[in-house]
């Protein structure tokens, strides 16, 4: 009995030793790579943002000028997302929003869109999707310029009924055989613009970058 | 470790016991990421690195680990190594990290890693174990690369698309458009393409083996005849 207890203890100590060792290695790697990971994630985000926000539209550090957005039905988001503000000489010029189209052909389509201060779209990009390769994936920029059809559009330029594919009586192009995908994207972009219209002041004003306090 | 041993390990890993087309282990990444050469080779190399490291890490401690808990300890070590590789890729190869996504952490569950640790590293010393892991990983990489080449060429008409994700911006112009104005062949890109391609590769290897066997026999019988004639 004693012998069994002892060998059980030894085994347990052995397992604990390796668990502690593994945790130590992981923790140190985490701390060593943490800054580099954040940097590369920010660089990737900035690359995406500069695709849809023209450089002449902002002179601020857009990645740092962020605002937490609560989950919203209009944006299709279930979690807190981050909006980035573009400013020119301190004046807000555009805001970058994340939005999710819930009704793609194979599930959610993640979008990022930039809206100018006047409610006009500066650009839209698809960040992630599961649409059929070769069929529904023309919403990606490298595959087709379709997504650029949103540039310069707003709820002023196109009325509510225009935010549909041409087949449904709207203004947007689509490719035969894959209409569910663009329908979902157009609907999501329209809803995001409605969200922008309703929350415009909150988006731009809240959380102004701190001005230096002169003594 | 003498020369013969080294050659045997390499021969086993790359050809005779190839994980992709002989042992048929690790089918999940094989199906999922072999849609292009770059994806396949990248995941293959990540797996090879993990296998070499886990072989080298487990061989020296094998006598200190009680037999009853060796599997949890081995898996723990493999999981730590995979997570380290994942952090490093996330930090320094972000584009590729995003493309390979969930398949990097899934290297832990790739049974080939544990299989080699069990079958080889737990019985041999560190250096041969590391070499065995690496050779097995390279064998898998080769299959992933060839399969990726077949699928990408048939499916998209290109080779090495996305290489800039692995090697940085300087590689942006290295993508080869083998078939210009190609409309694409969806079957090759989707998972069935991976199954069909893998089947063809296995058939090809079996054919090569069979041919080698026939030749050996033919040479043998020719030798027999000539000795009989001279006698």
Bridge partners (DSSP) of residue A91 are A88
pLDDT, residue B87, reads: 92
Contacts with B125 (C-beta within 8 Å, 6 or more apart), sequence order: B59, B60
Note whether residue A42 is domain-resident. Answer: no
Rounded distance, CA A48 to CA A112, Å? 9
DSSP assignment of A7-76 equals HHHHHHHHHHHHHHHHHHHHHHHHHHHHHHHHHHHHHHHHHHHHHHS-GGG--S-TTTSEEEE---TTTT
Note whether residue A145 is domain-resident. Answer: yes
Inter-chain residue contact A14 with B79, CB threshold 8 Å: no
pLDDT, residue A206, reads: 54
Contacts of B117 in chain A (CB under 8 A): none
For B190, name the nearest residue in chain A, comparing CA atoms only. Answer: A133
pLDDT, residue A208, reads: 52
Note whether residue A5 is domain-resident. Answer: no
Q: Express each pLDDT in B19-74 by its tens digit.
A: 888 888 877 777 788 888 888 898 898 899 999 999 999 999 888 888 888 899 99
Bridge partners (DSSP) of residue A86 are A94
Rounded distance, CA A74 to CA A99, Å? 8
pLDDT class of B141 with cuts at 50, 70, 90: very high
pLDDT class of B1 with cuts at 50, 70, 90: low
Measuring CA to CA, how many Å separate A87 from each of A119, A125, A190, B17, B53? 15, 20, 24, 61, 49
Bridge partners (DSSP) of residue A84 are A66, A96
Note whether residue A111 is domain-resident. Answer: yes
DSSP assignment of A113-174 equals EEEETTS-EEEEEEEE--PPTTTGGGGSTTT-GGGGGGTT--TTTS-GGGSSBGGGTSSB--
Inter-chain residue contact B189 with A25, CB threshold 8 Å: no
Residues of B with CB under 8 A from a CB of A: 64-66, 68-69, 72-73, 76-77, 79-80, 83-84, 87-88, 90-92, 94-95, 98, 184, 186, 189-190
> Alpha carbon B146 to chain centroid distance?
10
Collapsing DSSP states into helix, strand and coil, what is residue B12? Answer: helix
pLDDT, residue A213, reads: 41
Rounded distance, CA B216 to CA B223, Å? 10
DSSP assignment of B115-170 equals HHIIIIITTS-HHHHHHHHHHHHHHHHHHHHHHHHHHHHHHHSEESTTHHHHH-GG
Structure tokens at A191: 């809803």
pLDDT, residue B109, reads: 81
Continuous segment of H or E residues that includes residue B198:
helix B191-230
Inter-chain residue contact B83 with A29, CB threshold 8 Å: yes
Q: How many CB atoms lie within 10 A of CB A206?
A: 12
Domain count, chain A: 1
**What is the residue range of A97's domain?**
52-205
| pLDDT profile of chain A (215 residues), mean per 10 | 82 91 94 91 85 85 84 86 86 89 90 90 89 81 86 87 88 87 92 90 65 41
C-beta of residue B88 within 8 angstroms of C-beta of residue A33: yes
Q: Express each pLDDT in B185-209 by its tens digit.
A: 888 888 888 999 999 999 999 999 9
Note whether residue A171 is domain-resident. Answer: yes
DSSP assignment of B90-125 equals HHH-HHHHHHHGGGTGGGGG-HHHHHHIIIIITTS-
Collapsing DSSP states into helix, strand and coil, what is residue A82? Answer: strand
Closest Cα in chain A, distance from residue B143 (Å):
23
Mean pLDDT, all residues of chain B: 85
Q: What angle in degrees, to the nearest 10, is found between the helix axes of B191-230 and B126-156?
A: 120
Note whether residue A142 is domain-resident. Answer: yes
pLDDT class of B136 with cuts at 50, 70, 90: very high
Rounded distance, CA B145 to CA B36, Å? 8
pLDDT, residue B230, reads: 65
Note whether residue A36 is domain-resident. Answer: no
Q: Is the dihedral of CA B78, B84, B89, B94 positive or negative?
A: positive
Q: Is the dihedral of CA A117, A122, A128, A130 positive or negative?
A: positive
Per the model's pLDDT, the better-predicted residue between B106 and B52 turns out to be B52
Note whether residue A162 is domain-resident. Answer: yes
For residue B189, give the nearest of A18, A33, A133 by CB distance: A133
Contacts with B152 (C-beta within 8 Å, 6 or more apart), sequence order: B35, B36, B37, B158, B159, B161, B188
The closest alpha carbon to A38, from B105, B91, B168, B93, belongs to B91
């Amino acid at each position: 009995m004693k012998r069994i207890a002892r060998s059980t203890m030894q085994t347990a100590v052995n397992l604990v030793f390796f668990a502690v060792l593994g945790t130590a290695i992981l923790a140190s790697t985490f701390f060593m790579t943490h800054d580099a990971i954040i940097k590369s994630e920010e660089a990737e985000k900035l690359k995406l943002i500069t695709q849809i926000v023209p450089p002449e539209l902002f002179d601020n550090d857009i990645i740092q000028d962020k605002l937490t957005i609560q989950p919203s039905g209009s944006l299709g988001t279930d979690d807190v997302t981050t909006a980035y503000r573009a400013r020119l000489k301190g004046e807000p010029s555009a805001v970058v929003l994340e939005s999710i189209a819930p009704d793609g052909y194979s599930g959610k389509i993640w979008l990022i869109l930039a809206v100018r201060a006047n409610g006009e779209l500066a650009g839209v990009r698809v960040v992630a999707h599961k649409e059929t390769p070769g069929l529904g994936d023309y919403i990606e920029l490298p595959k087709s310029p379709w997504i650029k059809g949103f540039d310069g559009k707003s709820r002023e330029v196109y009325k509510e009924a225009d935010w549909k594919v041409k087949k449904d009586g709207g203004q947007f192009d689509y490719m035969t055989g894959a209409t569910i995908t663009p329908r979902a994207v157009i609907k999501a972009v329209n809803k995001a613009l409605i969200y922008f219209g309703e929350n415009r002041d909150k988006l731009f004003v809240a959380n102004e970058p701190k001005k230096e306090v002169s003594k | 470790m003498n020369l013969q041993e080294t050659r045997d390990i390499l021969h086993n890993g790359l050809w005779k016991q190839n994980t992709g087309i002989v042992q048929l282990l690790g089918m999940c990444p094989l199906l999922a990421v072999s849609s292009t050469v770059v994806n396949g080779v990248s995941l293959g190399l990540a797996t090879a690195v993990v296998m070499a490291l886990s072989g080298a890490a487990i061989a020296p401690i094998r006598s200190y680990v009680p037999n009853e808990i060796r599997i949890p300890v081995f898996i723990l070590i493999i999981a730590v190594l995979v997570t380290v590789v994942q952090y490093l890729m996330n930090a320094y190869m972000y584009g590729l990290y995003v493309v390979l996504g969930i398949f990097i952490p899934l290297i832990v569950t790739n049974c080939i890693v544990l299989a080699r640790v069990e079958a080889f590293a737990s019985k041999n010393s560190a250096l041969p174990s590391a070499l065995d892991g690496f050779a097995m990983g390279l064998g898998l990489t080769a299959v992933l690369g060839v399969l990726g080449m077949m699928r990408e060429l048939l499916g998209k008409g290109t080779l090495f698309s996305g290489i800039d994700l692995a090697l940085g911006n300087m590689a942006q112009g290295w993508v080869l458009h083998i078939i210009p104005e190609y409309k694409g062949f969806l079957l090759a890109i989707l998972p069935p393409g991976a199954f069909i391609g893998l089947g063809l590769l296995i058939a090809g290897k079996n054919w090569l083996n069979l041919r080698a066997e026939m030749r050996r026999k033919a040479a043998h019988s020719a030798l027999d005849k000539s000795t009989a004639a001279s006698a």
